[in-house]
Amino acid sequence: MISFYMKLASSYDADLKKAADHVRHLVKNKGKTYPVAISIAASEFNVDQGDLSRVLNPPKKAIKWTKPNVVEELDEYTQNASTKNFLFKKGYNFEKPEDLKKFLLGGKMEIVLPHKISSMQNLTVDPKEFQKEIEDSEYGSSYKSMRDELQKEKKINLPSPIAFKSENQYYLFSGNRRVNLAIANELPVKFWVIEIEDKNPKQKSLFSSKPSVNALYHGTDKESAEDIVKNGVNMARSHKGYFGKGFYLATDEGLAKSNYADFADEEGEDGVVLKFKLNPTAEILDLDKPEDFEQYKNLKWRGVPVESLRHKDDFDSIMRDLGIDGIRDEGSFGGIVIYNPKVLKLERQ
């Protein structure tokens, strides 16, 4: 049941809106000044002049960016394989938290222009993609809390997002939700920027080594094969397997045929085996190697163990967000699951 006081408040808000419309009418059609029109409308609709002025001239939203507490941000390094890989390629590898803390403290506040934000690595800039991300209860509730506070208070204080700058390009370390909140409200973003140099240009990957794979094979039905040949690999049509949603390939052509192609077509027609070449720069976790297996077991996405997320429909995008193009595990399914189809090139049908 709606209380008397809630009804009263709702009625007052309605009167304020009517009074505001009347003010605009008096100014536009009767030639009244705003102060005179506000006085007249407030009296006619029995509303407070101050409230009416705030409706007509709502305070502008603003975010005051403050220096971030880097200690609170350290987990972004330990739990994000993509960030660790980015820094590792530049020659930075932090074994001790105090070393990472010292590194992060060496930044400065900097307003980053919109065109640089739109091309920033590790930042979700597509509104639809970000909407998917905040559907997660814990991650989303934090964003909605900031959004609601800004809507109510109009001016809020937030710690600056942290970004790395290398060769005039930016990589977001932390603050995806804060950046998106500012973008949604058309507000400038002041980052805490750490400039880094490429100390190890020859280093290519954080993972132990590149898998020695010359060719990969995908068994499927004739119709799906034709679609792949014509339009490329469509992750939306991929199925969930042992390592979540992805594009599964075998390292042995016979296995792709006997385990997949021969059973792919429900009408009894012969299946098709497609041959792919893997880009040698692809970031593949090879679980047959102890060091890569250990990294996979400890892998987290936004603080959540990746293994517990394999059932999610967007698992492929989660892995791409972590900077992982695929996983190899000969013991589980005899091949590689690819999350980023850009690392594959079709060789033949």
DSSP code string of 187-231: ---EEEEEE---S-TT---SSS-----S-EEEEE-HHHHHHHHHH
Do 169 and 289 belong together in one domain?
no
Could you tell me if 229 and 339 lie in one domain?
A: yes
Q: Are residues 274 and 306 in the same domain?
A: yes
Q: Is 344 inside any structural domain?
A: yes
* Residues 258 and 188 grouped into a single domain: no
Task: Characterise 140 by phi-psi region: left (phi > 0), alpha (psi -120 to 50), beta (else).
Answer: alpha
What is the distance between the alpha carbons of residues 229 and 109, in angstroms, rounded to a whole number? 49
pLDDT given at position 314 = 82
Task: Return the CATH number at 259.
Answer: 3.90.228.10
Instruction: Determine what percent of the chain is predicted with pLDDT higher than 70.
Output: 89
Structure tokens at 136: 């997660």
Regarding whether 227 and 336 lie in a shared domain, the answer is yes
Winning range, highest mean pLDDT, from 3-12, 72-81, 229-238: 229-238
Highest mean pLDDT: which range of 170-174, 256-260, 332-336: 170-174
Cα–Cα dist 156/158, whole Å? 7
Does residue 333 lie within any of the structural domains? yes
What pLDDT is stored for residue 279 in this prediction?
86
* End position of a domain, from candidates 166, 195, 224: 195
Residue in the block written with tokens 């997320």? 309
Q: Give the per-residue pLDDT at 68.
A: 95
> How many Cα atoms sit within 13 Å of 87 on the Cβ side?
20
Mean pLDDT taken over the chain: 84
Same domain membership, residue 284 and residue 237: yes
Q: Calculate what percentage of the chain has a pLDDT beyond 90.
A: 30
* DSSP secondary structure, 133-192, as one string: HTTSHHHHHHHHHHHHHHHHHSEEEEEPPEEEEETTEEEEEE-HHHHHHHHHTT---EEE
Residue with tokens 């030639």: 31
Distance in angstroms between the alpha carbons of the first and the last residue of the chain: 67
35 part of a folded domain: yes
Q: How many domains does the chain have?
A: 3
Residue-number span of the structural domain to which 302 is assigned = 216-348
- C-alpha 94: how far from its chain's center? 24
pLDDT in tens, 99-154: 999 999 999 999 998 888 988 888 887 787 788 778 766 778 889 999 999 988 98
Q: Is the pTM of this model over 0.75?
A: no
User: Concatenated DSSP letters for 317-342?
Assistant: HHHHHTT--EEEETTTTSEEEES-GG
Average pLDDT over residues 188-209: 73
Whether residue 19 is found in the same domain as residue 72: no
Q: Could you give the CA distance from residue 26 to residue 336 in angstroms, rounded to a whole number?
A: 71
Q: Is residue 30 in a domain? A: yes
Residue 307 has what pLDDT?
84
**What pLDDT was estimated at residue 194?**
95
What pLDDT is stored for residue 338 in this prediction?
Answer: 92
Q: Is residue 31 pLDDT above 80, yes or no?
A: yes
In this predicted structure, what is the pLDDT of residue 136?
A: 66
Q: Which helix (H) or strand (E) holds 62?
A: strand 62-66
Q: How confident is the model at residue 268 (pLDDT cuts 50, 70, 90)?
A: low
Q: Is the pLDDT of residue 1 over 50?
A: no
pLDDT per position as a tens digit, 50-94: 888 888 887 788 999 999 999 988 887 877 777 887 888 888 888
For residues 339 and 235, membership in a common domain is answered with yes
Shared domain for 35 and 87, answered yes or no, is no
Helices (H) and strands (E) in the chain, counts: 15, 16
Q: Note the pLDDT of residue 262.
A: 55
Mean pLDDT across the stretch 28-36?
91
Q: Long-range contacts: 181-185, Cβ < 8 Å, 24+?
A: 181/63, 181/143, 181/146, 181/147, 181/150, 182/63, 183/117, 183/125, 184/127, 184/147, 185/61, 185/63, 185/150
In the prediction, which pLDDT does 261 show? 54
Confidence of residue 323 (pLDDT cuts 50, 70, 90): confident
Q: How far apart are CA 93 and CA 210, in angstroms?
A: 19
Instruction: With a cut of 80, say whether residue 201 has pLDDT above it.
Output: no
Residues 112, 190, single domain; the answer is yes
Q: For residue 78, give every residue at least 6 positions away whose Cβ sits within 8 Å of its Cβ, in sequence order, or none.
A: 84
